[in-house]
Structure 1
Amino acid sequence: MLRILTIASLFPDATRPGFGGFVARQTCALAALPDTDVTVIAPLGLPPLLGRRHPRWRALAALPAREAWAGLDVHRPRFPIIPGLGAAHGPLLAARLLPYVARLHRRLRFDVIDAEFFYPDGPAAIAIGRRLGLPVSIKARGGDIHYWGRHRGSAGQVRRAGRAADGLLAVSAALKTDMVALGMPEARILVHYTGVDLARFRPPADRAAAKRSLGLEGPVLLSVGALIARKGHDLAIAALPRLPGATLLIAGEGPEAAALRAQAERLGVADRVRLLGRQPHEALPALHAAADVGLLASASEGLANAWVESLACGVPLVISEAGGARELLDRPEAGRIVARTPEAIAAAVAALLADPPAPETVRAAAERFTWPRNAARLRAHLAGLVAARGG
C-alpha cells in the first residue's frame, strides 16, 4: 500500500466547485488505483477576523474542517493570509500545517508528500517532509512558476523548494525548461501531462443542434479561462471585427470583466461577445459542442486543460506560443499557433472556419491525454521517490 498525502491549495469546495477541478480529477484517478491510499489537505487561507466579514471569506470560513469530496478524505485546515502580501503565505502555511500533518502522520503513516501547486504548497511540503522524514514531490502548473517563481517576495522560496524536493513534475516540457532556468535540477523533473475525460468531452452528433440549444447560430468561438490580463481575452475581442458574423463565448470570471465589456462596446461587437462568467465543469462539454474554434491568446501557460478538452470535442484551437502549445498541437488538424495580435488571431480563425478539419482528426490529438494514464504515471513517480529513500 502506498500512502500518499496530497497538499493542494487549489482544490474544489462547496463555494467554488470548479476551483482546481483538474487537481481533484487527477487525485480521484490516483486514489482509484490498486494499493493506493490518498489523504488530501486542501488548506483554506483566511484573513484576520475583521477581514472575514466579506461574503467571500465568510463562505470559506463556514466550510467543514473535514469532509468526503468525490470519495476522497479531504481536510481543510485554516491558515492566516495577508491579502496583497502573498510572499508571507508560504511560511504561514508551513507553520499551520506542520503540527496538523504530524498528528495525521502518527495515525496514518504516510509514505510520501505530493504537493500539487508550487506556491504556497511547495515550500510548506518541504518543511513538513524534513520534519517527518518523508520524500516530497512538487508539481508545477504554469502560473505558479511564471508568477510566484519571479515575484520578488516568493521567488527565493520557490527556487529553494524546487532544489530541495526529491522529485518535481511539470505539466509540459516547455514548463520544465522554465523550471530549469530558475535553477531547479533538470534530472529530477518529470513531464506529467494532464488528462481529459474522453467519454464526456467528445464531438457532438450535430454541432448545429448544439448551437441552437444555446441560442446561437453562425460561427462560434470559445475561450475558456480566468478573466485576467495574461489570458489575452482582449485580443480575442479585438479580432472579432475582422470575423463578421462570428460569436465569441468567454467562460470565466475575474477582475478584467468590466474592461472586456467596455472594449466590446467600444469596438461595436458587444452583441457578438458573451461573457458567461464562471461555468461549472459539467457545463463545458455543451459549450465545446457548440464551438467551431477554441481560442486562447495567453501570454503564459503550462498546458491548459481547456486546450485538451477543446480538442477532445473535435474543436481545433487557435492559441499563442505559450507553454506546451507545440507539444499539444502536434499535427495541422489540431489548429494554429499564432502571434498575440488581433490580425494573426483573426486570420487563423478565418482559415479554420473556411476549411474545418474533420472532428475525428482533431480529437486524435487529445487521445493520449487520459486520467488513467496521468494517475498511473503519478503513482509510479511517487512510488519511485519512496523506493529511492529505501521505503
Structure 2
Amino acid sequence: MKILTFSTLYPNAVKQHHGIFTETALKQVMETGTIETVVVAPVPWFPFKHKMFGDYAGFAQVPREEMRRGVRVLHPRYFLPPKMGMHVAPFLMAMASRPAIARLMDEGFDFDVIDAHYFYPDGVAATLLGRYFNKPVVISALGTDINLIPKFYLPRKMILWAGKNAAAVVTVCEALKTELKKIGLAREDIMPLRNGVDLELFKPVDRVSTRSELGISGFTLLSVGYLVARKGHHRAIAALQLMPDVTLAIAGGGPDENKLKKLAMDLGVQNRVKFLGVLSQKELCRYYGACDALVLASSREGWANVLLESMACGTPVVASNIWGTPEVITSPEAGVLMPSNTPAGIAQAVAHLRSNYPLHTTTRAYAERFSWSDTTAKKVGIYRRVRQQAEAVQ
C-alpha cells in the first residue's frame, strides 16, 4: 500500500526533534514491510533566514525536500497571515500542498490513503485534499488539537466537519475519544490507538557509571519538554522549595528558558536546577536512566511519550492527573499521579514515590507492555480497511 503521511508535526533538517513522535510511529509502520510512504510536512512561508527573526527564520531555512531515515519528505510552504492565521490555516495549507501532491501522483506515487497526524489544521487540510484527490483520509488526534483548539468556535466546526468526513478517526488515548464525542463528533468507530515506546532505543543504562559521567548525585528529578508554560517546568522548579534535598534537571529548549532561569534565581533554588538544553534521543536515554524520577507537570497532554520513555529506561514517573496520563500510570511500578498539579502536589507525589520506590527492573517490565507491535498492526489494518471501502465505492 502507498500512504501519504500528512502533518506539520514532523522533524526537519532545522528542527530535528519537532514532532519526532510522528516519525517514530511511521518508522514502526514502515518496518512491517507492507507500506510505502511519502511525507508531506507543510511549513509556514517566511521570506527571511536571518536568526534575528527567531522561529520564523527557521521556517525559511527548512529545505523544500529532504530524505529522513530513507523516507522522502516534502515541505510545501503555506502563507499564514497574522491574527487571522488560526482560522484560515487549513485552507491555505491545503492549497499550498495540492501542487506538491499532484506532482507526486504524476511521478507515479498514486497513494491509497492520506494519513493525517493532528486534527487542526492538519486533519482539516488533509480532508480537503482527500476530497480534491478523491482519496480516503485517516486522522489521528494527539492532544492539544482536541483538548484546547475546539474551545474556538470556527476551528471546532471545522474539526467536526473533518471528523465526520474522514474514513477513520484515531486517538492516542481513551480520554481524547471521550472528548471528541463530547464536542459533538457522533461516530462510534473512533479508535483509540495508544503510542508505544521504542524498547531498543530506550533501555536501562549502568546507573552508577552514568550518574558519575553526568555529574548526578542525590535524588534527582528530570523534566522533559518544550520550555513553555503548559509543560509545567515552572511548577517543578517551585516544588524544589518544598524538597530541600532534591535536584532538578530540565531537558528542552523554548521561549521560556530565561523566564524559568529567573524563577529559579528568585526562589533561591538555582543551584539545584540544571538546564540541559535540547538533547538527542540517545543522550536523553542516559538522563532518563541516571535520574531517579521523571516529573511531568503539564496542564495539557494527550498521550505523553516521555512517560513511557522514562519507564523503559527503568525510571518511574511523577505526573499530573490529566487526559491520557492515568491510562499510562496504572500501578506503583509505573510511578505516581500528583494529587494536584501544583508545586505542593508535586512534592507530595515525590514523597510518596520515595517512600514506595519500585525496583528499576519492575518499572522496565511495566514499560514492556507498551511495545509498538499491537498498535502498528491495528494501524495497518485501518489503512487496508479504508482502502477497501474506497475501492468498493469507485
TM-score (normalizing by structure 2): 0.93
Q: Match for residue 22 of structure 1?
A: 21
Hey, what's the Cα distance between the residues in 2 that align with 1:251 and 1:211? 16
Mark the CA change 1:56 to 1:234 in structure 2 (over 3 Å): closer, same or farther: closer
Paired amino acid for 2:125: A
Query: How far, CA to CA, are the matches of 1:250 and 1:186 in structure 2?
Result: 41
Residue identity in the other structure for 1:113? I
Note if contact 1:202-1:314 (Cα within 8 Å) is conserved in structure 2: yes
Residue 332 of structure 1 is matched in structure 2 by: 332
Aligned residues of 1:253 and 1:277 also touching (Cα < 8 A): yes
Report the alpha carbon displacement of residue 62 of structure 1 after superposing the two structures with TM: 3.5
Change over 3 Å in CA distance of 1:319–1:112 after alignment to 2 = same
- Which residue of structure 2 lines up, in the alignment, with residue 287 of structure 1? 287
Structural mapping, 1:266-345, within 5 Å: 266-338=266-338, 339-345=340-346
Question: Could you say which residue in structure 2 is the equivalent of 1:265?
Answer: 265
> In structure 1, the residue corresponding to 2:148 is in which secondary structure?
helix
Q: Distance in 2 between matches of 1:192 and 1:58?
A: 35
C-alpha deviations, 1:28-86, integer Å up to 9, x for none? 22122223111111111123669997254444334332221111111111111224432
Structure 2 Cα separation of the partners of residues 279 and 55 of structure 1: 20
Inter-partner Cα distance in structure 2 for 1:217 and 1:264 = 19
How far apart are the structure 2 equivalents of 1:373 and 1:124?
Answer: 29
For each residue in 1:147-180, what CA deviation from the matched residue of structure 2 results, as whole angstroms up to 9, or x when unmatched? 2222345222222211221111111111111111
Counterpart of 1:64? 63
In 2, Cα distance between equivalents of 1:212 and 1:115: 43
Summarize the Cα distance change of 1:334–1:35 in structure 2 as closer, same or farther, 3 Å threshold: closer
TM superposition shift of 1:89: 1.4
Letter in 1 for 2:133: L
- Per the alignment, residue 381 of structure 1 pairs with 382
C-alpha contact 1:329 1:365 (8 A) present in aligned 2: no
Q: Distance in 2 between matches of 1:99 and 1:208?
A: 55
Go from structure 1 to structure 2 and tell me whether the alpha carbon gap of 1:50 and 1:308 turns closer, same or farther (over 3 Å shift). closer
- In 1, the alpha carbon distance for the partners of 2:191 and 2:102 equals 28
* Structure number with higher relative contact order (C-alpha < 8 Å, ≥ 6 residues apart): 1
Give the whole-Å Cα distance in 2 for the aligned partners of 1:45 and 1:344: 39
Indicate the larger mover: 54-63 or 310-319.
54-63
CA distance change for structure 1 residues 251 and 24 in 2, over 3 Å: closer, same or farther?
A: same
C-alpha displacement of 1:137: 0.6
* One-letter amino acid of the counterpart of residue 309, structure 2: E
Q: State the match for 1:226 in structure 2.
A: 226
C-alpha contact 1:148 1:158 (8 A) present in aligned 2: no
Question: Residue type matched to 1:18 in 2?
Answer: H
Deviation at 1:273, TM superposition (A): 0.9
**CA offsets, 1:208-233, max 9 Å, x none?**
32222111210110111112212211
Amino acid at match of 2:387: V
Maintained 8 Å contact 2:48/2:57: no
Match of 1:89 in 2: 89
Partner of residue 175, structure 1: 176
Sort the Cα spacing of 1:50 and 1:88 in 2 relative to 1 into closer, same or farther, 3 A: farther
State the Cα distance separating 1:305 from its structure 2 match.
0.6
Secondary structure (helix, strand or coil) at the match of 1:128 reads helix
* Structure 1: gaps (5+ residues): none
Q: Map residues 1-391 of structure 1 onto 2, 5 A cutoff.
A: 2-47=1-46, 54=53, 56-84=55-83, 85-106=85-106, 107-205=108-206, 207-338=207-338, 339-390=340-391
Residue 333 of structure 1: how far off its partner (Å): 1.7
SS in 2 for 1:188: coil
Q: What per-residue deviation string (whole Å, max 9, x for no partner) do you get for residues 174-193 of structure 1?
A: 11111111212342311111
CA contact (8 A) 2:66 2:73 kept: yes
| Distance (whole Å) between structure 1 residues aligned to residue 111 and residue 30 of structure 2 | 14
Q: Within 1, Cα distance between the matches of 2:7 and 2:357? A: 39
Change (3 A) 1:289 1:214: same
* Matched position secondary structure for 1:10: coil
- Which amino acid in the other structure matches residue 258 of structure 2? A
- Which stretch of structure 1 is more off in the superposition, 260-269 or 11-20? 260-269
Q: Which segment drifts farther, 275-284 or 239-248?
A: 275-284
SS across alignment from 2:188: helix
Shift of 1:367: 1.3
Amino acid paired to 1:7 = F
Number of matched pairs: 389
Instruction: In structure 1, give the amino acid aligned to 2:4.
Output: L
Distance in 2 between residues matched to 1:83 and 1:51, nearest whole Å: 19
Q: Distance in 2 between matches of 1:288 and 1:90?
A: 37
CA contact (8 A) 1:46 1:52 kept: no
* Stretch moving more, 3-12 or 274-283: 274-283
Whole-Å Cα distance in 2 between the matches of residues 344 and 4 of structure 1?
A: 44
Q: Which runs of 5+ in 2 are unaligned?
A: none
Matched residues, percent identical?
A: 37
